[in-house]
Structure 1
Amino acid sequence: MFEIQRIVGPVLKGSERLFLEYTGKCPKQENQNGQTVFDLEEGTKVSFGTYFNALFPRYAEEAYGTGTYRFECEAIGNGFLSLEASEGGKEKSNLYGKEIKQGKNRISIEFEVKKGGSGFIYPVVEAKKGGLRFSSGRFLTLNNKERNGRLAVCICTFKREEYLIANLKAWAQDSEIVKRAVFYISDNGQTLKPRDLPSGCEFRLFPNPNLGGSGGFARAFLEAKDEGKCDYYLFCDDDAIVHPESIFRTLAFFDSKKDPDAYLLSGAMLDFRRPLEAVEVGAKFLIGDSRVKSFYLGANLSDSVDLDSISKAERNKNANYSAFFFTGFAERKGTDSDLYPPYFLRGDDITFGLSRSRNGVEVLTYPGLAVWHEPFYSKTNSWVEHYSYRNSGIVHLLFHEGGPWGLIRVYFVRFYIFLYTFQYENLRAALEGIHQILAGPEEFVKLDLQQKHSELMGRYTPEEVWSGQKPRTSMISKILGFLFLPVSILSLNTISIPYLRRPINRSAGALSILLDGAGASVTLDYDERREPVYIRKKDFFRSFRLALSALLTIVEVLIRHRRLSESWKREARHFSSETFWRSKLAPYR
């Protein structure tokens, strides 16, 4: 028998409904050594049927197996406690109910997790006369634990001290994490000193050159592996908020496994700007057309319908990698690890995950393994497009066994949209990234990562930002756009109405972009979830030059695809290896 998850409170304002729902007054909450104490005033009722605090039987079955589970808690005061099960979003059943009377009440409830179960199980607490204090809520499995392992939390940071220090302070308040986790911090910005970091956690700080996330995670991992104090590893981004409970559940998961190296544990990414909204809860890289499919994108994890969908765990069955904002894994001692090429950023986690999932490692997620992170839609720099197209193309060549047509289709559609909406710098960056692939792996591996990144940062012109209110489309503009749509599609929007300015919502999809941009000479590109609106102006000659360059690039990829795939697969065995990274990092260790 051992503890697998605890009833906890929020760490980020705006995320409260991922932890509890209540009627009456909001309960006061206090963290006591990793446990959250909830003080309820008379008449307050709290349900913990939420993403972080409910037990989801289907996930519990995958992680810990079927059988008998237990819920335990302490309650002081007067009230009523029940353990409920939700099925299908609306159907609920009561598994247990107990009147709580004055004094300390220790409560223990056993229930069964059966094969193929869905829904979720959770406590509900109601305070009566004099109020109620609820604490030490936790779920346990009566199955055996395999070990009491230690976790190496590997963090790559670059001048984001505020996130890192806030996380370390929160983790240091949890005695279980303090006892069982060691934090290996690769400081790519070389701005941190040990005295800058809060006390309480055991950490190792390593000044590192700016080799991107790829080099930073590799450095932290190798330092942890060489020290040999830990049984498991967790890669974790520096610009994310990570609840201590996510680390606790990672430890519980791997402790339960006879062969922990057979699993890749994937955390969910929640939107830092919209704390209830998922950016992804598991993901699949579609190798044939070189793009990521994020599961549950935009799902509101406080909504009963979305929560019920997640409880069935159907989409996550197809996950084949785990993003490095939260990735847990284990390695057999004494073996060399497969890592990833020196991408700098973007694609390292995909390569890392695909190489494992193809060798039989199972990619799993578990509710409550989550971070709040800056969402993908907020990162719109042209140099990001360079890395995205270059590195996802390399991943395609490393793992795809078929022809190029899926990749060609994606290139054609995306390049067309770039041209149609006058995103010239983004298209130029994407094409230059693909040209690096065409130059071959021998040239790629010679790149000076720091120098190349500095060049990219200065190469692409910053986009002009709209300073007025978020634009709206007038009825006249809509009519003109509709009439001009056939001409715009055929001409890549180079034949348009002079001075016509049209807003384009890039989050609405390709068809909406075509309609919104038709006939425009200037586009105001926005995403309803972010602040900046970018001004993009038509340049006929630039459209023509880039269209020709894009077409020639697509033709070259089509012609050389098979030989490129063979050469990249052959060379990747070298520059994705642990030996390669040890050699590359040796001067700095």
Structure 2
Amino acid sequence: MAVVLQNVVFPTNQDPDVLPLYADPETWATVKCMPLRLSDSASIDNVLSRHSARVRPGKRVSYATYFNAFPASYWQRWTVVRDITLNISTSGTGTVIVYRSNSGGQQQRVESRTVKGDGVNNVFQLPLNSFGDGGWYWFDLIAGSSELVLERATWETTAKPVKTGKVSLGMCTFNKAEYCVETLANIAADPALREVVDKILLVDQGTAKVKDRPEFPQIAAELGDQLRVIHQGNLGGSGGYSRAMAETLQLADTDFLLLLDDDIEFETESAIRALQFGRFSSNPVIVGGHMFDLYDKPVLHAWAEHVKPGPFLWGPSFPEQHRHNFKESNLRQTPWMHARLDADYNGWWMSLIPKQVIADIGLSLPVFIKWDDSEYSLRAAEHGYRTVSLPGVALWHMSWLDKDDSQDWQAYFHTRNRIIAGLLHSTQPRGGKLMQNSSRQDIKKLLNMQYYAVQLSINAMRDVLAGPEKLHSTIKTVMPEARALMSEFGETRVWLPDDEDHPVSRGGRSLPIIQDPTWFEEESRPELQYPTGINLALFTAKTVAKQWLREDATDKIPELEYAKRDALWWHIPKHESVIIGSADGRGKMWYRHDRAKFRRMLREIQVLRRQIERNWDTLAKQYREALPHITSVEMWLETFEK
């Protein structure tokens, strides 16, 4: 019996911005090795339904797109599927051409057929035996003298799945009720997804409850006993998702748990694809979904993310992945997307975890937020369970462009949890360059008068040295304590336009950075060039010495005002008092040199860094021995009940 692995789908929300992710009717050229779109043919009017679309007379549309091409290399590498069937139903006259690509992105024609008539079904048998390094399948439609309608298309297999159980959805939220009810409504409206979902576990940790939204009663009635709302104190993402994991272990019909963030827009087809990939995987794997920008919808956050072993720092495996815009370069125009890329971890904005993995390795590390998702995948890999960031599986999530969580209360968790994850999983002696890199980040912040963020980092290192025993007992209090500390640091205040005592710089506002052409920056504004190598070392030494001797500027008028994006870290230290726009655009923040804080924090950073490096092996042993206990269901249940 044939099983649908992937439906060809289209957006039904009348949003033209997402069209490049579903269909590519454009004409492209290459100029200086860069793709150039020569047309603007995409129209939301050509979307007829969730599964059908039309091609205008004489036009050609390619479905070599993120959501509608088939990622053959991933299915060949990780699953038991060895051949697939492409079923295409059309009405009208035209041509269907099936293509494949190799790992370098070269397009290769597989088969072509002429179609004529209403409801004509064409079946293409396609092997999965030559995609070891990469490659996709897709098809194009070319209309004749009249329009050609794609009625439906599916990618199927007759292979037998390894697992057949259902998926439960685990959603964790804190005061994002509006987003949650929209996601629940999308799920309720998709009968195909409802059919494979066992339970929807909504862990509400906020004060603005999802159940209090006016839309909730009707949606809850539609979902019936599939929906289970769980209320608990704010334990962060690690506590919310751990609750969903613990509940999943008690569900007999569930084989997989799909973790979803709260501030998302959900492509429900992606959940079905992730489940099918999990069901057909040769061995249990964590199936991760990609993240698109909710406010710039054709833009992808990253494709496959890694933890670099030297500095033990997360990020895309290479820079070109970061914020790729499919409107500017679609699948056929982006060769690196055709190589199969392996990931170390996937963010928990969307991640499908087999129940077997949860039972084997435990729940999340009790760290509130940050590094819980990456640590979990690293831990899973040590137990033989890999993570696959699967193309074609994605959602839209709020962008981080208008945030800077490295400077707010989350700076504590960035530092503490990165070091803990390194103690647990780094294979480098004394964590490699982790502490050196972390110390450099703190010095950058210190030179930029970000004393609050540096103090949080200092507190984080102290807590790492205290050992793993208090992670559970402090999980509810550590975030409020970090936020309360803001009152001691003047740079955390956001000055709004209507504030009577709003600071004004004597030098006005700095010139904006012009991204293009680059010659403008290089020739006209050399101060914008990033210092590297020996220049970076000299700059840091000179600037640290200067700030060590510099008098306090707490009462000095700001010298200049910068937009947030223009406040380059190597430029701001030239000032004693400066205004910088807040990341969210609400107002301005006033940074002033404080010699006493600078001297104290610089000393403490170095002392704590040396302590952790000197005691690395002892600390690593403590945390690794404690890991099975602090991630156990029993330990987490005690925390849930407190």
Q: Quick check: TM above 0.5?
A: yes
Contact 1:287 1:400 survives alignment (8 Å):
yes
Unpaired runs of 5+ in structure 2? 27-40, 498-507, 515-520
Q: Quick check: 1:151 aligned with 2:210?
A: no
User: Residues 39 and 391 from structure 1, CA distance in 2 versus in 1: closer, same or farther, beyond 3 angstroms?
Assistant: same
| AA in 2 matched with 1:183 | I
Distance in 2 separating the partners of 1:429 and 1:274 = 32
Distance in 2 separating the partners of 1:518 and 1:334 = 47
Matches within 5 A, 1:162-311: 162-181=178-197, 182-189=199-206, 191-193=209-211, 195=217, 197=219, 199-201=221-223, 202-257=226-281, 259=283, 262-286=284-308, 289-295=311-317, 296-302=321-327, 303=329, 304=331, 307-311=334-338
Which has the higher mean CA deviation after the structures are superposed, 520-529 or 190-199? 520-529
Residue 99 of structure 1 is aligned with which of 110, 114, 117? 114
Match of 1:430 in 2: 457
Distance in 2 separating the partners of 1:345 and 1:513 = 26
Distance in 2 separating the partners of 1:472 and 1:141 = 54
Deviation at 1:159, TM superposition (A): 1.6
Q: Quick check: 1:324 aligned with 2:370?
A: no
Match of 2:504 in 1: none
Residues 430-469 of structure 1, C-alpha deviations (whole Å, 9 max, x = no match): 211221112222233321x333322222322534469698
User: Residues 117 and 183 from structure 1, CA distance in 2 versus in 1: closer, same or farther, beyond 3 angstroms?
Assistant: same
Deviation at 1:506, TM superposition (A): 6.2
Distance in 1 separating the partners of 2:361 and 2:525 = 56
User: Residues 583 and 25 from structure 1, CA distance in 2 versus in 1: closer, same or farther, beyond 3 angstroms?
Assistant: closer
Deviation at 1:225, TM superposition (A): 2.1
Distance in 2 separating the partners of 1:72 and 1:346 = 43
Contact 1:501 1:521 survives alignment (8 Å):
no
Match of 1:15 in 2: 18
Contact 1:77 1:132 survives alignment (8 Å):
yes
More strand by share: 1
Contact 1:502 1:520 survives alignment (8 Å):
no
User: Residues 472 and 521 from structure 1, CA distance in 2 versus in 1: closer, same or farther, beyond 3 angstroms?
Assistant: farther
User: Residues 334 and 108 from structure 1, CA distance in 2 versus in 1: closer, same or farther, beyond 3 angstroms?
Assistant: closer
| AA in 1 matched with 2:52 | V
| AA in 2 matched with 1:330 | P
Q: Quick check: 1:456 aligned with 2:482?
A: yes
Match of 1:501 in 2: 560
Match of 1:520 in 2: 575
Contact 2:171 2:202 survives alignment (8 Å):
yes
Q: Quick check: 1:360 aligned with 2:384?
A: yes
Q: Percent identity?
A: 18
Deviation at 1:405, TM superposition (A): 4.5
Match of 2:6 in 1: 5
| AA in 1 matched with 2:129 | K
Distance in 2 separating the partners of 1:379 and 1:334 = 32
Unpaired runs of 5+ in structure 1? none
Q: Quick check: 1:552 aligned with 2:607?
A: yes
User: Residues 5 and 129 from structure 1, CA distance in 2 versus in 1: closer, same or farther, beyond 3 angstroms?
Assistant: same
| 3-state SS of paired residue (1:75) | strand
Distance in 2 separating the partners of 1:333 and 1:505 = 42
Distance in 2 separating the partners of 1:86 and 1:210 = 47
Match of 2:630 in 1: 575
Residues 340-363 of structure 1, C-alpha deviations (whole Å, 9 max, x = no match): 332111122122211110111122
Contact 1:18 1:301 survives alignment (8 Å):
yes
Which has the higher mean CA deviation after the structures are superposed, 277-286 or 245-254? 277-286
Residues 370-404 of structure 1, C-alpha deviations (whole Å, 9 max, x = no match): 12212344432421101111111111112235214
| AA in 1 matched with 2:86 | F
Which has the higher mean CA deviation after the structures are superposed, 196-205 or 265-274? 196-205
| AA in 2 matched with 1:452 | V
Residue 45 of structure 1 is aligned with which of 38, 60, 63? 60
Q: How many residue pairs get matched?
A: 575
TM-score normalised over the length of structure 2? 0.80
Which has the higher mean CA deviation after the structures are superposed, 526-535 or 173-182? 526-535
Which has the higher mean CA deviation after the structures are superposed, 167-176 or 412-421? 167-176
Distance in 1 separating the partners of 2:173 and 2:48 = 27
User: Residues 537 and 19 from structure 1, CA distance in 2 versus in 1: closer, same or farther, beyond 3 angstroms?
Assistant: farther
| 3-state SS of paired residue (2:78) | helix
Contact 1:87 1:308 survives alignment (8 Å):
no
Match of 1:411 in 2: 438
Distance in 1 separating the partners of 2:482 and 2:300 = 31
Which has the higher mean CA deviation after the structures are superposed, 229-238 or 288-297? 288-297
User: Residues 29 and 154 from structure 1, CA distance in 2 versus in 1: closer, same or farther, beyond 3 angstroms?
Assistant: farther
Distance in 2 separating the partners of 1:63 and 1:478 = 50
Match of 2:448 in 1: 421
Match of 2:73 in 1: 58
Contact 2:8 2:154 survives alignment (8 Å):
yes
Q: Quick check: 1:491 aligned with 2:513?
A: no
Match of 2:469 in 1: 442
Deviation at 1:224, TM superposition (A): 2.6
Distance in 2 separating the partners of 1:273 and 1:93 = 35
Matches within 5 A, 1:361-376: 361-376=385-400
Contact 2:202 2:227 survives alignment (8 Å):
yes
Distance in 2 separating the partners of 1:107 and 1:527 = 56
User: Residues 470 and 226 from structure 1, CA distance in 2 versus in 1: closer, same or farther, beyond 3 angstroms?
Assistant: farther
| 3-state SS of paired residue (2:61) | strand
Deviation at 1:141, TM superposition (A): 2.9
Match of 1:341 in 2: 365
Deviation at 1:422, TM superposition (A): 1.8
Which has the higher mean CA deviation after the structures are superposed, 180-189 or 121-130? 121-130
| 3-state SS of paired residue (1:54) | coil
User: Residues 108 and 62 from structure 1, CA distance in 2 versus in 1: closer, same or farther, beyond 3 angstroms?
Assistant: same
Deviation at 1:53, TM superposition (A): 1.0
Deviation at 1:489, TM superposition (A): 4.7
Deviation at 1:91, TM superposition (A): 4.1
User: Residues 27 and 348 from structure 1, CA distance in 2 versus in 1: closer, same or farther, beyond 3 angstroms?
Assistant: closer
Match of 1:472 in 2: 512
Matches within 5 A, 1:64-75: 64-65=79-80, 67-75=82-90
User: Residues 174 and 535 from structure 1, CA distance in 2 versus in 1: closer, same or farther, beyond 3 angstroms?
Assistant: same
Contact 1:80 1:99 survives alignment (8 Å):
yes
Distance in 2 separating the partners of 1:141 and 1:247 = 18
TM-score normalised over the length of structure 1? 0.87
**Segments of 4+ moved more than 6 angstroms:** 466-470, 473-477, 479-485, 495-498, 504-508, 526-533
User: Residues 418 and 234 from structure 1, CA distance in 2 versus in 1: closer, same or farther, beyond 3 angstroms?
Assistant: same
Residue 124 of structure 1 is aligned with which of 140, 157, 162? 140
User: Residues 203 and 9 from structure 1, CA distance in 2 versus in 1: closer, same or farther, beyond 3 angstroms?
Assistant: same
Match of 2:592 in 1: 537
